[in-house]
Amino acid sequence: MIQITPQMRILVAVETVDFRKGIDGLAALCRQALASDPLSGALFVFCSRRRHAIKCLTYDGYGTTEIMGRRSRLNAQFRVKCGAV
């Protein structure tokens, strides 16, 4: 179980990701695309190509955890809006 604290950074990848990637592949994406250390304790969120599933990656001090969630309805998609905040 992932415990989210107020101090925890959550980084969301805007580009879709090939979900055949495992922990090592997602960690490499954290370093390259997000320019962040996957062992920093932040929560990294990735979206599938069809936008029906997400994968979360985090490091808790003991090891790296990968969690995947998928929408139950196939026509429902996660939507990400890009823009200035």
Residue boundaries of the structural domains of the chain: 10-70
CA distances from 38 to 67, 72, 79, 82, 85 (A): 14, 29, 24, 23, 24
pTM given for the model: 0.78
Beta strands in 1-62 (DSSP E): 10-17, 43-48, 53-59
Going residue by residue through the chain, which has 85 residues, state the pLDDT in tens, using 9 for 90 and above: 677 888 889 988 888 889 898 899 999 999 988 889 999 989 999 988 888 888 999 998 888 888 888 877 655 555 555 443 3
